[in-house]
């Protein structure tokens, strides 16, 4: 097996050694020796040693009550440190003899291919400048690590970078080691688990911190590299105001099933974004005012500032005063309704124009080298982040809008909106949308739920257009769901367009997405209210929970195809919004491959997708990592736009229909139809205990009930902890197995070779099956599951084995991921530290369930730390 890169191995060893020294300082040599015995036992057990397995089990069994928490913490911290080393390894300095990483090559190589394919340089530059990619940061509760620990982990990564120089003197190297030791000690002595749930405002602040500490630096660097690649390929430059990638957020706007996100919270988050943006630009402008001390300026600039010995400073000081006024107003408005004064910046042109004036003046006066430094970076930040940092989306469940309208129609004596058929609803909504009078009298008194819906609409109406993204309707199913939101927003006083976006989530809704949008676009008056593209959100997580990933992936693909055709026939631009999670079971996977596997025509210069929870940190937590991932997004969207994949052949579609049909039957036969499934799930996984983990502001359930009431995240999270990974593969074993039995191997192989959609699905399936571990899952069953339910666990593990066999049969390999030995080795190394955590978690779950009242004591804390450690080791949770 290929070994991990020597430098990565050395860094993992160094961090582990420093963690060991920290543990020894607190708990002594004897305790550290126990940790080492557990680690060695797990390592040899993984290699098949019965003695190693016995050593591991006996050492863990012999732990005293007060040793459970520090042992769990030790393995959790090591896995986090391994993650840091691995993250840094992706962005480390490359030696002259090392290959340029894919992320750095992908755009230049693509531009060369496009030019060779006959694309004109001017058209390429124009398309690149017009790309509209929006990454929507969401606060789904899968980020296990606390913000204070994330900051320490980032600092550790910075010290690894400082160490990555061959010419360091021994004294310099020792100083870096001391700083690392200190940071690891700080992390060790910091609690891993929050004591209380974060509020939605806390989550929004976490999102702003990612922008401040990483993306603020990454975006201008990323755009410099894009500009350089374009110039090298075509001789042309990226337009000054080009912002091919922008950011939006759900943090503080996503109220679907989260009663903690209120109109007041949304207003506060919008103001905090303005405060943070003004503060960040103030830092930039202060630096620019210090640097731009030049005297020579263009006539255009002198007209604005008058006679002044330092014209650039004079102009920038005016901008600085307006930024200070904006920041002060936003701060004051947090506590009271305060109208912004004339000096408060409200339009992005007010920020861009003085910066552009300085830029063009410097170029005109022969000082282009100066203009293309920090000033260009500031201009590009202003084009990307604007005055509002990240546009805030609003999301609410369709049922909440329908309930509000039912209350309104009942009050008006018109009947119950909820009982009307779709035609009656549409007729009423269109009539009221065209009516100039208000729908509601001023004295109308609503229930608390309806009052909150209307208050949210008023916040949307009052906010500047550039502060908001889209209004997303979850569980949408019909045109009336869109019209209902438009009417409620009109009633709140909204007098400008906003994208109202239906989110199609379940299998039935995805199949109905095309007809629903077709009817919507054909309604009289709707097109007049549609400014810009028709945005439609495709749900990945709930469709997978509903039908399994085989059927849901194909339904998502077919829904996109239908929407492309329908919008083309209506001559309306389509913007697809992909609601992906972090894991395979929620549509996760490498972004570059995922984008290139979309249906032809579905990525036409526009792409919108969610980035969630811990994936935000793994992709964008460090500036260089963020640059790499932004390059991947941009290159993939450009390629999918100009070199779209082929449409699937008819025989591929027919086989995919059969696979989806078999897949959904296999999935639902277990999840919906097996009478013992819910009881088994609750006993075999830590699903009940996850509800006590204070991860996010949102409840784990939408309401009372079984699996159907669970949100997709805890559903995935629970199976990940036991390593069965069931939601990501269940159904594929029947689908692929039946296809192989029918003699369709050659057709499957052709699809995998020539169809990016199918190849990406199989690659993701292979990855998740490699992370699954039936032997670990057995441990949970034997200790936690009642005897009469254990045969179901054995059946599920048999299905897992079948899934592995059919994938190997399809790929022709003897081992999963044999084509990626580095990934296999990485998983193998992590298993040495994951195995003790799994064994410990099983015992802690058993003890916790036997306890009359789980408390905040060491046992409960150790259990939650084991959850966090396993999540860190597997690198994705929900």
CATH for 336: 1.20.1440.90
Question: Would you say residue 741 lies in a domain?
Answer: yes
Question: Would you say residue 336 lies in a domain?
Answer: yes
Burial of 155 (0-12, 13-18, 19+ CB in 10 A): middle
> Where in the sequence is the domain holding 770, given as residue range(s)?
650-874
Q: Is 749 helix (H, G, I), strand (E, B) or coil?
A: helix
In the prediction, which pLDDT does 878 show? Answer: 39
Q: Which of 385, 416, 440 is the last residue of a domain?
A: 385
By the 8 A CB rule, do 146 and 194 touch?
Answer: yes
Residues 748 and 636: their CA atoms lie apart, in Å, by 25
By the 8 A CB rule, do 414 and 448 touch?
Answer: no
Question: Would you say residue 679 lies in a domain?
Answer: yes
By the 8 A CB rule, do 181 and 21 touch?
Answer: yes
In the prediction, which pLDDT does 91 show? Answer: 77
In the prediction, which pLDDT does 166 show? Answer: 78
Question: Would you say residue 172 lies in a domain?
Answer: no
Residues with pLDDT less than 50, the chain: 1-2, 141-143, 582-588, 877-878
Of residues 247, 152, 234, the one with CA closest to residue 190: 152
Q: Report strand pairing: 391-397 vs 245-249.
A: parallel
Q: Which of 340, 370, 385 is the last residue of a domain?
A: 385
Residues with Cβ < 8 Å from 569, sequence gap 6 or more?
A: none
Listed in sequence order, the DSSP H helices in 582-642 are 591-596, 613-620, 623-642
In the prediction, which pLDDT does 334 show? Answer: 95
Question: Would you say residue 836 lies in a domain?
Answer: yes
In the prediction, which pLDDT does 708 show? Answer: 59
Residues 41 and 44: their CA atoms lie apart, in Å, by 5
* DSSP tag of 701: B
> What backbone phi and psi angles, to 5 degrees, belong to 255?
-105, 10
Question: Would you say residue 461 lies in a domain?
Answer: no
Cite the active site residues: 140, 545
Residues with Cβ < 8 Å from 671, sequence gap 6 or more?
A: 548, 677, 707, 730
Residues with Cβ < 8 Å from 746, sequence gap 6 or more?
A: none
Question: Would you say residue 731 lies in a domain?
Answer: yes
Residues 255 and 266: their CA atoms lie apart, in Å, by 9
Residues 224 and 772: their CA atoms lie apart, in Å, by 41
In the prediction, which pLDDT does 130 show? Answer: 94
Residues 201 and 245: their CA atoms lie apart, in Å, by 25
CA angle, 806 then 807 then 813, to 5°: 110
Tally of structural domains, the chain: 2
Question: Would you say residue 806 lies in a domain?
Answer: yes
Q: Which of 335, 366, 385 is the last residue of a domain?
A: 385
Residues 784 and 688: their CA atoms lie apart, in Å, by 13
């Amino acid at each position: 097996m290929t070994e991990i890169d020597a430098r990565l191995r050395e860094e993992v060893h160094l961090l582990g050694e420093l963690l060991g020294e920290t543990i020894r300082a607190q708990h002594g040599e004897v305790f550290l020796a126990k940790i080492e015995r557990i680690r060695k036992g797990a390592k040899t057990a993984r290699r098949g040693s019965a003695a190693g397995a016995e050593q591991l089990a006996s050492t863990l069994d012999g732990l005293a009550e007060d040793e459970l928490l520090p042992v769990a913490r030790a393995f959790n911290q090591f896995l986090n440190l391994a993650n840091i080393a691995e993250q840094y390894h992706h962005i480390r300095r490359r030696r002259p003899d090392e290959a340029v990483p894919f992320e750095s090559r992908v755009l230049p190589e693509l531009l060369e291919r496009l030019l060779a394919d006959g694309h004109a340089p001017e058209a390429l530059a124009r398309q690149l400048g017009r790309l509209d990619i929006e990454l929507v940061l969401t606060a789904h509760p899968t980020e296990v690590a606390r913000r204070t620990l994330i900051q320490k982990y980032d600092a550790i990564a910075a010290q690894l970078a400082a160490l990555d120089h061959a010419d360091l003197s021994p004294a310099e190297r020792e100083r870096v080691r001391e700083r690392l030791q200190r940071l690891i000690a700080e992390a060790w002595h910091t609690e891993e688990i929050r004591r209380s749930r974060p509020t939605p405002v806390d989550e929004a602040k976490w999102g702003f911190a990612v922008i401040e500490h990483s993306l603020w630096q990454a975006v201008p660097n990323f755009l410099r590299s894009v500009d350089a690649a374009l110039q090298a390929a075509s001789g042309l430059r990226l337009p000054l105001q080009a912002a091919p990638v922008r950011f939006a957020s759900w943090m503080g706007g996503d109220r679907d099933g989260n009663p903690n996100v209120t109109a007041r919270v949304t207003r506060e988050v919008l103001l905090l974004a303005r405060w943070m943006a003004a503060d960040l630009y103030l830092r930039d402008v202060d630096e620019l005012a210090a640097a731009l001390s030049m005297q020579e300026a263009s006539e255009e600039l002198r007209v604005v500032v008058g006679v002044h010995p330092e014209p650039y400073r004079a102009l920038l000081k005016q901008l600085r005063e307006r930024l200070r006024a904006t920041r002060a107003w936003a701060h004051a408005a947090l506590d009271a309704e305060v109208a912004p004064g004339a000096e408060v910046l409200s339009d992005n042109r007010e920020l861009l124009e003085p910066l552009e004036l300085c830029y063009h003046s410097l170029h005109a006066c022969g000082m282009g080298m100066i203009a293309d430094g920090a000033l260009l970076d500031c201009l590009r930040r202003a084009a990307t982040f604007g005055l509002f940092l990240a546009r805030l989306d609003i999301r609410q469940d369709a049922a909440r809008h329908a309930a509000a309208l039912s209350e309104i129609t009942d009050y008006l004596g018109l009947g119950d909106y909820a009982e009307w058929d779709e035609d009656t609803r549409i007729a009423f909504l269109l009539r009221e949308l065209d009516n100039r009078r208000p729908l509601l009298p001023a004295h109308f008194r609503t229930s608390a739920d309806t009052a909150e819906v209307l208050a949210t609409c008023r916040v949307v109406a009052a906010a500047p257009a550039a502060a908001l993204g889209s209004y997303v309707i979850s569980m949408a199913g019909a045109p009336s769901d869109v019209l209902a939101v438009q009417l409620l927003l009109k009633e709140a006083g909204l007098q400008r367009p906003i994208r109202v976006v239906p989110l199609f989530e379940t299998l039935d809704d995805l199949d109905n997405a095309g007809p629903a949008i077709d009817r919507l676009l054909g309604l009289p008056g709707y097109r007049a209210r549609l400014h810009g593209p028709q945005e439609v959100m495709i749900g990945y997580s709930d469709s997978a929970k509903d039908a399994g990933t085989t059927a849901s992936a194909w339904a998502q693909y077919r829904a996109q195809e239908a929407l492309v055709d329908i919008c083309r026939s209506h001559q309306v631009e389509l913007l697809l919004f992909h609601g992906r999670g972090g894991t395979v079971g929620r549509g996760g996977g490498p972004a570059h491959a995922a984008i290139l596997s979309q249906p032809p025509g579905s990525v036409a210069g526009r792409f919108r997708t969610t980035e969630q929870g811990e994936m935000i940190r793994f992709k964008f937590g460090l500036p260089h990592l963020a640059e790499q991932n932004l390059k991947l997004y941009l290159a993939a969207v450009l390629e999918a736009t100009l070199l779209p994949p082929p449409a699937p052949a008819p025989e591929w579609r027919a086989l995919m229909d059969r696979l989806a049909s078999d897949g959904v039957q296999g999935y639902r036969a277990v999840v919906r139809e097996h009478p013992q499934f819910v009881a088994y799930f609750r006993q075999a996984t830590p699903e009940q205990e996850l509800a006590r983990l204070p991860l996010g502001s949102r409840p784990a359930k939408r309401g009372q009930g079984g699996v159907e009431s669970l949100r997709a995240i805890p559903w995935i999270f629970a199976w990940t902890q036991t390593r069965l990974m069931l939601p990501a593969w269940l159904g594929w074993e029947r689908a692929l197995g039946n296809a192989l039995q029918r003699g369709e191997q050659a057709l499957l192989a052709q699809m995998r070779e020539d169809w990016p959609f199918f190849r990406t699905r199989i690659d993701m399936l292979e990855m998740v099956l490699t992370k699954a571990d039936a032997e670990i899952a057995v441990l949970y069953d034997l200790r936690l599951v009642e005897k009469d339910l254990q045969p179901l666990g054995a059946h599920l593990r048999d299905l897992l084995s079948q899934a592995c066999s059919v994938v190997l049969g399809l790929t022709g390999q003897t081992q999963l991921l044999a084509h990626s030995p580095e990934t296999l080795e990485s998983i193998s190394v992590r298993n040495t530290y994951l195995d003790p955590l799994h064994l410990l978690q099983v015992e802690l779950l058993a003890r916790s369930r036997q306890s009359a009242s789980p408390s905040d004591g060491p046992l409960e804390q150790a259990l939650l730390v084991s959850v966090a450690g396993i999540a860190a080791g597997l690198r994705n949770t929900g």
